[in-house]
Amino acid sequence: MLRGQMMQRPLLISDIITYAAEVYGTKEIVTSTVDGQRHRYTYRDALARISKLAHALIALGIKPGDRVATLAWNTYRHFEIYYAVSGIGAVCHTINPRLPVQQIDFIIKHAEDALLLFDEDLAGLIGTLDLAGPHAPRLVCLAGEERLPQAGLGPRAIAYEALLAGHPDGFAWPQFDENTASGLCYTSGTTGAPKGALYSHRSSVFHAMTTIVGRPSEFASDGRILPIVPMFHVNAWSLPYSAPLAGQSLIMPGPKLDGDSLFRLMDEEGVVSTWGVPTVLQGLLNTMARMKRKPNGLAEVVVGGSAASGQLIERFEDDFGVVVRHAWGMTEMSPVGSSGFLGREADHLDRSSRTKLQLSQGKRLFGVEMNIIDDDGAALPKDGAHAGELVVRGNSVIAGYFRNADASAAAFDAAGWFRTGDRARITDDGRLTIVDRVKDLIKSGGEWISSADLEEAAMRFPGVVACAAIAVPDDKWGERPALVVRMEPGVALDVEALRALMARTLAKWQLPDRIIIREALPMTATGKISKKDLRTEIVGGA
Among 395, 528, 532, 533, binds a copy of itself (CB under 8 A): 395
For 235, counting Cβ atoms within 10 Å of its Cβ (0-12 exposed, 13-18 middle, 19+ buried), the class is buried
State yes or no: residue 91 binds a copy of itself (CB under 8 A). yes
Q: Which residues lie closer than 8 Å to 134 by C-beta, 6 or more apart?
A: none
Contact indicator for 524, 186 with CB cutoff of 8 Å = no
Q: How far, in Å, CA of 163 to CA of 80, rounded? A: 13
Q: Candidates 285-293, 391-399, 464-472, 492-500 — which segment interacts with a copy of itself by CB under 8 A? A: 391-399
Helix (H) or strand (E) segment spanning residue 432: strand 432-437
Cis peptide before 335 (omega within 30 of 0): yes
Residue 38 beta carbon to a copy of itself: minimum distance, rounded to whole angstroms = 21
Smallest Cα–Cα separation from 346: which of 366, 324, 316, 375? 324
Of the two residues 198 and 471, which places its CB atom closer to a copy of itself in the complex? 198
Backbone angles phi, psi at 451, to 5 degrees: -65, -30
Of the two residues 345 and 350, which places its CB atom closer to a copy of itself in the complex? 345
Instruction: Name residues contacting a copy of itself, limited to 318-357 (CB under 8 A).
Output: 341, 343-345
State yes or no: residue 169 binds a copy of itself (CB under 8 A). no
C-alpha radius of gyration, the chain, whole number:
23
Contact indicator for 495, 517 with CB cutoff of 8 Å = no
The strands making up 38-42's β-sheet, listed across from edge to edge, are: 38-42, 28-32, 249-252, 224-227, 273-276, 300-303, 323-329, 336-339, 363-364
Question: Contacts with a copy of itself: how many residues (CB under 8 A)?
Answer: 72
Which of 18, 33, 70, 187 is the catalytic position? 187
Count of C-beta atoms within a 10 Å radius of residue 4: 5
State yes or no: residue 430 binds a copy of itself (CB under 8 A). yes
The type of residue at 259 is: G
Contact indicator for 304, 328 with CB cutoff of 8 Å = yes
State yes or no: residue 41 binds a copy of itself (CB under 8 A). no
Residue 344 beta carbon to a copy of itself: minimum distance, rounded to whole angstroms = 5
Among 25, 189, 463, 478, binds a copy of itself (CB under 8 A): 25
Q: Candidates 2-10, 458-466, 476-484, 522-530 — which segment interacts with a copy of itself by CB under 8 A? A: 2-10
187 is catalytic: yes
State yes or no: residue 414 binds a copy of itself (CB under 8 A). no
Count of C-beta atoms within a 10 Å radius of residue 139: 18
Of the two residues 40 and 393, which places its CB atom closer to a copy of itself in the complex? 393
Instruction: Name residues contacting a copy of itself, limited to 283-322 (CB under 8 A).
Output: none
Contact indicator for 342, 386 with CB cutoff of 8 Å = no
Q: Locate the DSSP E strands across 288-355.
A: 300-303, 323-329, 336-339
State yes or no: residue 8 binds a copy of itself (CB under 8 A). yes
Q: How far, in Å, CA of 231 to CA of 212, rounded? A: 18
Contact indicator for 358, 326 with CB cutoff of 8 Å = yes
Which of 190, 314, 448, 537 is the catalytic position? 448
Among 31, 96, 274, 396, binds a copy of itself (CB under 8 A): 396
Q: Which residues lie closer than 8 Å to 353 by C-beta, 6 or more apart?
A: none
State yes or no: residue 42 binds a copy of itself (CB under 8 A). no
Lay out the site mask for a copy of itself across 171-190 (x = CB under 8 A, - = otherwise). Answer: -----xx-xxxx--------
279 is catalytic: no
448 is catalytic: yes
State yes or no: residue 5 binds a copy of itself (CB under 8 A). yes
Residue 306 beta carbon to a copy of itself: minimum distance, rounded to whole angstroms = 24
State yes or no: residue 14 binds a copy of itself (CB under 8 A). no
Residue 42 beta carbon to a copy of itself: minimum distance, rounded to whole angstroms = 11
Lay out the site mask for a copy of itself across 241-270 (x = CB under 8 A, - = otherwise). Answer: ----xxx-----------------------
Quote the Cα angle for 208-212-217, to 5°.
155
Residue 455 beta carbon to a copy of itself: minimum distance, rounded to whole angstroms = 28
Which of 63, 146, 443, 447 is the catalytic position? 443
Contact indicator for 91, 65 with CB cutoff of 8 Å = yes
Instruction: Name residues contacting a copy of itself, limited to 207-246 (CB under 8 A).
Output: 209-210, 212-213, 216-222, 245-246
Among 9, 348, 476, 508, binds a copy of itself (CB under 8 A): 9
Q: How far, in Å, CA of 124 to CA of 130, rounded? A: 13
Lay out the site mask for a copy of itself across 451-490 (x = CB under 8 A, - = otherwise). Answer: ----------------------------------------
Backbone angles phi, psi at 469, to 5 degrees: -105, 135
Residue 300 beta carbon to a copy of itself: minimum distance, rounded to whole angstroms = 12
Instruction: Name residues contacting a copy of itself, limited to 108-137 (CB under 8 A).
Output: none
Residue 137 beta carbon to a copy of itself: minimum distance, rounded to whole angstroms = 16
275 is catalytic: no
Q: Candidates 97-105, 256-264, 394-402, 467-475 — which segment interacts with a copy of itself by CB under 8 A? A: 394-402
Q: Which residues lie closer than 8 Å to 483 by C-beta, 6 or more apart?
A: 454, 455, 458, 467, 468, 469, 512, 514, 515, 516
Count of C-beta atoms within a 10 Å radius of residue 156: 13
Instruction: Name residues contacting a copy of itself, limited to 360-389 (CB under 8 A).
Output: 363-364, 366-367, 369
Which of 332, 389, 455, 456 is the catalytic position? 332
Annotated catalytic residues are 187, 332, 443, 448
